[in-house]
Structure 1
Amino acid sequence: MAPQESASTPELGASSASGFSRRTVLKGLGVGAGAIAAAPVLAACTGGSKPSAGGSASVNTTSKSTSLGSSGSDDVPKRAIQAMIDAFQTKTGDKVSINTVAHNDFQNKISTYLQGSPDDVFTWFAGYRMRYYAKQGLAAPLDEVWSKIGANFSDAIAKASTGDDGKKYFVPNYNYPWGFFYRKSVWAAKGYQVPTTFDQLKTLCAQMQKDGLTPIAFGDKDGWPAMGTFDYINMRTNGYQFHVDLCAHKVSWDQQKVKDVFDNWKALLPYQDKAALGMTWEESAQTLAKKKSGMYLLGSFVTQQFTDKTVLADIDFFPFPAIAVEGQDAIEAPIDGFMLSKKGGDNGAAVALLEYIGSAEGQDAYAKIDTSNIATAKGADTSTFTDLNKKCAEAIANAKSISQFFDRDALPAMANNVMIPALQAFIKDGTYDTKNLEAQAKTLYASQ
C-alpha cells in the first residue's frame, strides 16, 4: 500500500462513477506487473470543485455535489461504502459520484492522482502515509470538520489524524486488529490450546503439522502481508518503540535487534504455507475456511472472505504471543478513513460528507454491511457485535500501544521498494541482509 508509485507503472484508467470496490486494508503494496497492466484509471472526478490554498477556509457552502475516490474494491467494503453514501445522500440531498479503482492500483498511483485532478474526498490511512501527503500540500486541512466531530473520537484517534503541522487531515472510519484467526471446531476436535508464548506457538505448530494441517496460512503474492508478521515479531522481540524508531529510521537496520527478528521468524518458516509467494491473502483465507490450515495471522478483515455464516460463526481470534519484551501489550490495529484533496478543499458538499463519515450515524451505516471492523466513533452501535467483534474491540481497547502497519508507519518507498523484495526473499530461502537494508534506508530517508 505504498503511496509512492513505480515510475514504470502505467496511468490508471477511469472507473464507474457509481461503482464501488474493495478496501483490502493493506493490499496496496502489490505491484505485480500483471495486476498493474490491467489497472483501471484513477479518473478526474472532482465534482466541480477548484483548488483552495487554505483548504476549508473558502468553502463553497452552496455546492450540493461532490466526488469520492475509493479503493474499496472487494465486495463487502464496496457495499458498505455504498450504504454509507446512500444514507448521506438521503439525509442531505447532496449527490456523491464515486470513482472506484482496484485497491493496489489506487495506492500505487496515489501521488500522480493527487497531483492531477483528484476526487474531492478519497479513501486513505492514518499514520505516516497521511502525514506524508499532507506535508506535500496535496491534502486540505480538516480543522473545520473536526470542530464538529472531534468529540466523537479518543485522544489516540485524534492524534493519529493530525499532520506534522498540528492540523487535522484525516477522518477515521474504523480500525481492525491483526492477530491469529482460527476455526474453533478444528481446535476443539484436536484439543489445541491458545498459545501465549512463542515457545507455545512453535509447539502448537509442530503438533498441527503432525496432524496433517498447514499450521499457519500465509499468502504473500502481493507483498504486503508479510509485513504484519515482521511487525509483530519485531514488537514482541524489541518493543513497540523500537518498531516506531525503526520505521522512522531513527535506529539502524544493521544491528543485532533486527537480526533477532529474522532469526525468530526463521523458527516459523517451516510452519507457514509453502505456497505463500504464489497466493493472495484471499486465497489463503480459503485454506482456513476449508480446514486445511490451523490458523492465519492477518487483520480482522479476513472475515470478509467467510461468506458461509456457519464458517464465520466458527472463527475465533487470539493476539500474537509474547516473545521477549512487553508481553502482548502492543497490537497492530491500523486505522482506515478518508481525506480531502487540496482541489476539493472548497467544496461544501465534500466537507458535509466528511462530517457525516465522522459521526456515529455514518459509521453505523457502514458497519451494518462490513462487520469485520471496529467503528472509531464514540456512540457507534455495538448492540449487534458478535463475540468475535467484542474480542477484537477489547484487544484494541486493552492494548498499551497501537501500531499502524509497517507500510503506514514507515516511508512509503522503504515499504514498497525495499521491504517487499527483502521479505519475499527471506520467505523463499530464509536469507536476509541487514547491511543492505540499512544502506537502502539511509539513502531513501536522507532524500526526504
Structure 2
Amino acid sequence: MQHPAATAFNRRTLLKGAGIGALGLFAAPVLAACTGTPSGGGTSASKTLTFGSNASDDVPKRAYAAFVDAFQKKSGDTVKVNTTDHNSFQDKISNYLQGAPDDAFTWFAGYRMQYYSKKGLTADIDDVWDKIGDNYSEGLAKASTGEDGKKYFVPNYNYPWGYFYKKSLWQSKGYQVPKTLDDFEALCKQMKTDGLIPIGFADKDAWPACGTFDYIDMRTNGYQFHMDLCAHKESWNQKKVQDVFDTWKLLLPYQDPAALGMTWQDAAQKLGKGESGMFLLGSFVTQQFTDPATLADIDFFPFPSIAVEGQDAIEAPIDGLMLSKKGGQNQAARDLLAFMGTGAGQLAYWKVDGSNLMTAKDADTSGYTDFSKKLAGVIADAKSVSQFFDRDALPAMATNVLEPAMQSFIKDGTVDLSNIESQAKTQYASE
C-alpha cells in the first residue's frame, strides 16, 4: 500500500494564516478505561465522556486539566480523565483501542493516526471538521485526514525538534551556533575540552534517538529519501543508510555516555544545570525548566547541514485528539474535539504549557515570547516537515526494529543493516 507519510507537505502552507505566520503495539495488557456509551448507530445525548490522556508529565497533565476544565464550564458536560504513563500509553495503544478505550484520547497526526483509522479502531469526525475546518491550514487538515479521505484527528499543538542550549553558558565560553557538521564537530571537541558533556543525550525509552537518525538522514540523503525509507520504498541495506550511521558514529564520543540509562527528563536536568552543552529534542524539553531564570536562558538552533538541502527540513510533530470507535457514538466526546479546534480551547492548554505552538488560526498568540516566535519561525521557514520516525513509519517497524537497533548502535557503534532490511520486509509485507 502507499504510505501517506511519504508525501511531503510544505510547512509554509501548514502555518499559512495560523497567527504565527513513541511505541510498540501488540504486547501488554489493555490500558484502563471507563464505562462506555451506548452502542449502535448515531450518537448518544450523554453529557458525560471519558478522556484517555498520555500527558503524564506534570506540565502537560496540568495543561490538559485546564483544557478539560474550560470545556466543562463552556458545555456543562462532565469529563472523566484517565491519565496513563506516556510511554506505556503508546506501547499499549493497539490493545487499548481494541479493548475498552476511552471516548476521546490523545494521539498524533499523519501516519500514526492513519494506521489505526485504517484498522477501523477510531471514529471519523467529518461533522466536527464541518465546524472547525476553516480554523486550520490546508497542511494541518491534510495531516488530520485518513486514507479514506475522512477526518479523524483534531490538532492541538506542534513543536520543532532542534538543539537546545543555555545562552549564558555559551556566552561565557564564546561558543557560536554551528551551521555545518564540521562546525558542529569542532564545537563538540571544544566543549569536551572545557569539561562539558557536549551532546546531552538520553535513550532509555528508545524513541529519542530517532530524532538524531531522522535529522542525519534528511541532511545526508534529503527529505524525500528519508520519507521513502520510512515507507520502505527504499531499502535499509544500502550505502546511503550506512552513511547515516557512519556520520552518527563520529558524534558518539560526544554524546552522554550514560544515555541508555537516562530519560529525556534526566538529560534536560543536566542541560539546565550546565553539565551538558546542548540537547537535541522537541521544544517540550522546556517543560522541565520550572525556574523562570533558567527558562529565559534557553535558546535553540536547527540541526546543522551535512550534505544536501542545507537545513531545509525540520521535524515538527503534531499532537492532538481523536475518538475511539466507541467514542464516536458520544456527542459530548465530539463536542470536546470541536472545542480543541478553537482558539479558546487551545489557549486554555497553552497558558499552562507554553512549550508548544498553537495550531488554530484564531488562537491568541499575543502572549508568545520571543523564543516561541523564534520556534514558530523556524518551522514556518522550513521547506519540508517530518513527523518523527515513530510517526512517519509503520508503528511496529519503529518499536520492534529500528529503536532496538539504535540502542545497540549507541552502545557499541555497530549496526546490521541487512538484518534491519530483513525485518522491514517482514513488517511491511504483513500490511
TM-score normalised by structure 1 residue count: 0.90
Alignment-derived partner of residue 147 in structure 2: 164
Alignment-derived partner of residue 122 in structure 2: 139
Matched position secondary structure for 2:80: strand
Alignment-derived partner of residue 72 in structure 1: 55
2:269 aligned with 1:281: no
Task: Name structure 2 gaps, 5 residues minimum.
Answer: 1-21
Alignment-derived partner of residue 16 in structure 1: none
Matched position secondary structure for 2:314: strand
Equivalent in 291, 295, 299 of residue 308 of structure 1: 291
CA distance in 2, matches of 1:144, 1:253: 41
Measured after TM superposition, the shift of residue 51 of structure 1 is 5.2
Alignment-derived partner of residue 45 in structure 1: 34
Equivalent in 215, 219, 225 of residue 202 of structure 2: 219
What count of residue pairs does the alignment treat as equivalent?
A: 410
AA aligned opposite 1:84: F
CA contact (8 A) 1:46 1:118 kept: no
2:25 aligned with 1:4: yes
Alignment of 1:15-54 (within 5 A): 42-50=31-39, 52=41
Alignment-derived partner of residue 131 in structure 2: 148
2:161 aligned with 1:201: no
Equivalent in 366, 372, 389 of residue 355 of structure 2: 372
Equivalent in 201, 212, 218 of residue 235 of structure 1: 218
Measured after TM superposition, the shift of residue 63 of structure 1 is 2.0
CA contact (8 A) 2:196 2:275 kept: yes
1:426/1:194 CA distance change after superposition, 3 Å: same
2:64 aligned with 1:59: no
1:370/1:49 CA distance change after superposition, 3 Å: farther
Task: Spell out, residue by residue over 1:281-307, the C-alpha distance to the aligned partner (whole angstroms, 9 max, x if none).
Answer: 100111111101100000000000011
Alignment-derived partner of residue 19 in structure 2: none
CA distance in 1, matches of 2:140, 2:255: 34
Higher RCO (CA < 8 A, seq sep 6+) = 2
AA aligned opposite 2:33: A
Equivalent in 300, 308, 312 of residue 329 of structure 1: 312
Measured after TM superposition, the shift of residue 48 of structure 1 is 2.4
2:301 aligned with 1:318: yes
AA aligned opposite 2:343: A
AA aligned opposite 1:425: S
Measured after TM superposition, the shift of residue 2 of structure 1 is 2.0
Measured after TM superposition, the shift of residue 5 of structure 1 is 3.1
Alignment-derived partner of residue 18 in structure 2: none
Task: Spell out, residue by residue over 1:213-240, the C-alpha distance to the aligned partner (whole angstroms, 9 max, x if none).
Answer: 1000001011010000000000000111
CA contact (8 A) 2:33 2:52 kept: no
Equivalent in 382, 402, 406 of residue 365 of structure 2: 382
Equivalent in 395, 406, 412 of residue 429 of structure 1: 412
Matched position secondary structure for 2:205: coil
CA distance in 1, matches of 2:293, 2:26: 40
CA contact (8 A) 1:205 1:271 kept: yes
CA contact (8 A) 2:24 2:395 kept: yes
CA contact (8 A) 2:181 2:304 kept: yes
CA contact (8 A) 1:47 1:97 kept: no
Measured after TM superposition, the shift of residue 46 of structure 1 is 4.5
AA aligned opposite 1:43: A
CA contact (8 A) 2:164 2:300 kept: yes
Measured after TM superposition, the shift of residue 358 of structure 1 is 0.8
TM-score normalised by structure 2 residue count: 0.94
CA contact (8 A) 2:230 2:392 kept: yes
Alignment-derived partner of residue 102 in structure 1: 85
Task: Spell out, residue by residue over 1:405-435, the C-alpha distance to the aligned partner (whole angstroms, 9 max, x if none).
Answer: 1000001111001111100111011101111
Measured after TM superposition, the shift of residue 49 of structure 1 is 3.8
Task: Spell out, residue by residue over 1:212-267, the C-alpha distance to the aligned partner (whole angstroms, 9 max, x if none).
Answer: 11000001011010000000000000111111100110110011110010011111
1:130/1:51 CA distance change after superposition, 3 Å: farther
CA distance in 1, matches of 2:309, 2:243: 16
Task: Spell out, residue by residue over 1:327-354, the C-alpha distance to the aligned partner (whole angstroms, 9 max, x if none).
Answer: 1010000010110111111211011110
Task: Name structure 1 gaps, 5 residues minimum.
Answer: 13-41, 53-57
| Structure 1: 4+ residue segments shifted above 3 A | none
Task: Spell out, residue by residue over 1:372-431, the C-alpha distance to the aligned partner (whole angstroms, 9 max, x if none).
Answer: 000111121211111211111111111111100100000111100111110011101110
CA contact (8 A) 2:24 2:400 kept: no
CA distance in 2, matches of 1:386, 1:49: 45
CA distance in 2, matches of 1:131, 1:365: 27
AA aligned opposite 2:59: V
CA contact (8 A) 1:5 1:107 kept: no
- For the aligned residue pairs, the C-alpha RMSD in angstroms reads 1.0
